[in-house]
Structure 1
């Protein structure tokens, strides 16, 4: 109920209220000396500044040290993966060299004797190789020699149906397969294939398998010292398929499908792979990767930042603890010094408390510097306060007399609360003055929505330099409501915190009379339904709202045999029949439909959201209801009928008048064809003057 009530304002209070607040602060709640003293605040401020400085310096130093540690770890990781990649490459080269040497030592006749070839593999290749099995054969032949730790055998399935075997035959170069399911062991393996050349042709193939799950591929390749093996080291092929991992169950899986590794793989793909080692950090983890020379495999290592920085964080914790102890000691020394320096100020505080409590003490402390100037200022303020309190008492007495004599409700509001109210305002609201003072102004409004809407209106009026005036539903103490005329003017337009003066009048009777006049202007006095003026406004509004207002239909109604009732039974009987017809029409339509009396014996129906098919049904029910009417009048039974025309609103209608004319034409056609029927408007129908 106040312009300043629709937002909290923190503007400085007037001088007249500062003394009251200061007195309440000093004579009401007593702050403990150790909590509210200046020296404590200085000590706390000094301690906070010292601690913040120490924290800032420590944090800055820790940041630079962390960056140095991470940079060193990144360089070290890059060197380690590079060395491991070289070792993996050398291990693979050794196995290919062993296969090549064996291929060169096998006579041509041995390739036709699979048993002899298998025995040679078991004797000369398998014992000296880290491979778990070896095989050899001629491409295109069904029997291949095979040897593993269990012995020798012939492969029932052709080994050259492996894609890697076919690639080695086609290219004539050694090949490495991606991780495969072992044909004999059933576990993930990698197949090494070396073609055997004779006179420029590939006459055979020799190969072997490295088991990935049951054997340690790092040890097989002699690539990674045991001191470096751990959860962070793993080996993949060029497509990101895991060949070696500390968790054996993850072997042969893809980095793309691994939640912990997919981000590193995506980063490598986005930045572009390289034969040079690459190292980077992604926030929580340091990654490093290097390509195995000549074979396309990748050696990876992941190290968490927490693991790298754990010693630094522990050291930082102890440094901060020691710094806090030093700061506390410094603060205690500072507190003792401040206590000695501020003793004169404590004596001045005691005199100020006595002054505000109304006690007179002549022994004001005499001092130089800031304390002396403060003592003289307080003495001057005491004299001004006494004079101001006397003046305020006189003003409040006069204002109370004015408000008591005013014939309208008056109120002064500030900070969203009532501070002064008149007796007339209390009477209008049905409340006692003590029940209003100090309460939120929102409590007298009929709804929270009204209160929220009032705020912008008041603010806009005050901003334009005008007072506010408006009618709003108000709430009495017993829950009843009345319409009130609110007027408002700010105490000081330039200072919203100064408050607002409001007046309130009960205008419920005026509002009710105005609404009755508005209702009478748009409704038929006899039947109570909408009149022609109201109908034309609703019809035009529905027409203007197209296409969203479609479908909609209009029904024109003309009573049959009504004139004889007026002629024989009198106009009173005719009026009674018109009232009965209006009630019959209203009983057959929806609450959203509009029943209209156009004048005389002409009625209409406006049916929103109603296509013509449904409107024809409604019209037929209305026709039946009118035909069923039987009005008893002076021992006579009076009856009427009705002819009805229906027209649906469409794109072809150029105006609301044209829409109404088509419905009128349909009504005329119903009358012309024998009355007492319903007809749908057609484009060719025309209204004939005097047709009725």
Structure 2
């Protein structure tokens, strides 16, 4: 005999609605639900982002209220529809307008509530990226950062690494080389757009595994490097293993696309025999190559010329 629930469907519905209202008030992010070109439900942060407060609300208003022009609304709508039909969310930056007429740049992440009905209700996540966008436009920023992942680029990484090679400060400094296994297969199967979003997400994941004083960079394609000042080989191994396991557990969810990969990591502590930046990077790459040759999803440590140490993987 099946036990009867003590909670009626209407009570469960009321409870769900109450939870949603609490979430929309307290969530520290701009969240909105849109249907038929109108805001059905928005978070308090979403309202504040557009200059609304206790006396005014975006709920019930047309989405046209947040666009700078009719043409802008049409353009975003067309791009959103095309993305949803192809099974992908929309993730891009657009210029929006507040209630008082002031403008800001926002990163809009929109996805259908139900993928089998892409023209139905959609979920919007919005973030004010005005300052970040201005920084990206500065020549000094573009010269030091990778445009796709917003991490440091090769030039900046080599410059920072060069400050430690040959240094007489005697503080231990280590370098990691991260190579994603079989990433070309992801791109071949899902396309370069999905691959780009995967690389961005992977870069953000790597940042969570290091200290604020460390430097994570994308050097080329699916290769990342990490500079660990004041970090000896032992602790560098620990960081590398955290990164390896984190990548193995990471899943890209991009619309209807789902994928996961693994990675190999080479570790090297700067030593007197590695006299140049290229030598240090080369040692880390060689250690990573050993990890790949062993089957992937593993960490290897460069000890000395021709010597490697295997870590768990």
Instruction: Determine the structure 2 residue equivalent to 1:93.
Output: none
Give the match's secondary structure for 2:138. Answer: helix
Contact 2:194 2:254 in 1 (8 A): yes
TM-score with structure 1 setting the length: 0.25
Match for 1:550 among 168, 171, 192? 171
1:683 is displaced (CA, Å) by 2.1
Q: How far does the alpha carbon of each residue in 1:399-455 deviate from its partner, in whole angstroms, 9 at most, with x for none?
A: xxxxxxxxxxxxxxxxxxxxxxxxxxxxxxxxxxxxxxxxxxxxxxxxxxxxxxxxx
Contact 2:165 2:275 in 1 (8 A): no
**CA–CA separation in structure 1 for the residues paired with 2:185 and 2:281:** 27
Give the gaps of 5 or more residues in structure 2. Answer: 1-133, 308-313
Instruction: Determine the structure 2 residue equivalent to 1:630.
Output: 251
Matched, 1:575 2:196: yes
Match for 2:142 among 503, 511, 520? 520
Matched, 1:563 2:184: yes
Contact 1:549 1:608 in 2 (8 A): no
Q: How far does the alpha carbon of each residue in 1:288-344 deviate from its partner, in whole angstroms, 9 at most, with x for none?
A: xxxxxxxxxxxxxxxxxxxxxxxxxxxxxxxxxxxxxxxxxxxxxxxxxxxxxxxxx
Contact 2:252 2:259 in 1 (8 A): yes
Q: How far does the alpha carbon of each residue in 1:72-97 deviate from its partner, in whole angstroms, 9 at most, with x for none?
A: xxxxxxxxxxxxxxxxxxxxxxxxxx
**CA–CA separation in structure 2 for the residues paired with 1:514 and 1:527:** 12
Instruction: Determine the structure 2 residue equivalent to 1:683.
Output: 304
Matched, 1:595 2:216: yes
Equivalent positions of 1:221-232 (< 5 A) are none
1:529 is displaced (CA, Å) by 0.4
> After the TM superposition, which parts of structure 1 deviate over 6 Å for at least 4 consecutive aligned residues?
512-515
**CA–CA separation in structure 2 for the residues paired with 1:603 and 1:564:** 18
**CA–CA separation in structure 2 for the residues paired with 1:514 and 1:610:** 30
Instruction: Determine the structure 1 residue equivalent to 2:279.
Output: 658
1:539 is displaced (CA, Å) by 1.1
Give the match's secondary structure for 1:543. Answer: coil
> Which protein shows a greater Rg?
1
Give the match's secondary structure for 2:279. Answer: helix
Match for 1:645 among 266, 275, 291? 266
**CA–CA separation in structure 1 for the residues paired with 2:227 and 2:262:** 20
**CA–CA separation in structure 1 for the residues paired with 2:185 and 2:139:** 34
Q: Which gives a bigger RCO, structure 1 or 2 (Cα 8 Å, sep 6+)?
A: 2
1:548 is displaced (CA, Å) by 0.7
Matched, 1:536 2:137: no
Contact 1:550 1:649 in 2 (8 A): no
Q: 1:624 to 1:514 in 2, by over 3 A?
A: closer
**CA–CA separation in structure 1 for the residues paired with 2:194 and 2:157:** 26
Q: 1:519 to 1:667 in 2, by over 3 A?
A: same
Q: 1:570 to 1:540 in 2, by over 3 A?
A: same
Task: State the Cα RMSD in Å.
Answer: 2.0
Q: How far does the alpha carbon of each residue in 1:49-74 deviate from its partner, in whole angstroms, 9 at most, with x for none?
A: xxxxxxxxxxxxxxxxxxxxxxxxxx
Q: 1:682 to 1:572 in 2, by over 3 A?
A: same
- Aligned length, in residue pairs: 175
**CA–CA separation in structure 2 for the residues paired with 1:655 and 1:583:** 29
1:684 is displaced (CA, Å) by 3.2
TM-score with structure 2 setting the length: 0.53
1:528 is displaced (CA, Å) by 0.6
1:644 is displaced (CA, Å) by 0.2
1:513 is displaced (CA, Å) by 7.6
Instruction: Determine the structure 2 residue equivalent to 1:447.
Output: none
Contact 1:662 1:685 in 2 (8 A): no
Contact 2:266 2:284 in 1 (8 A): yes
Give the match's secondary structure for 2:150. Answer: coil
Point out the structure with the larger strand share.
Answer: 2
**CA–CA separation in structure 2 for the residues paired with 1:658 and 1:540:** 11
1:652 is displaced (CA, Å) by 1.9
Contact 1:594 1:606 in 2 (8 A): yes
**CA–CA separation in structure 1 for the residues paired with 2:135 and 2:144:** 15
Equivalent positions of 1:60-99 (< 5 A) are none
**CA–CA separation in structure 2 for the residues paired with 1:515 and 1:640:** 32
Give the match's secondary structure for 2:141. Answer: helix
**CA–CA separation in structure 1 for the residues paired with 2:143 and 2:233:** 30
**CA–CA separation in structure 2 for the residues paired with 1:552 and 1:638:** 34
**CA–CA separation in structure 1 for the residues paired with 2:246 and 2:293:** 21
Instruction: Determine the structure 1 residue equivalent to 2:206.
Output: 585
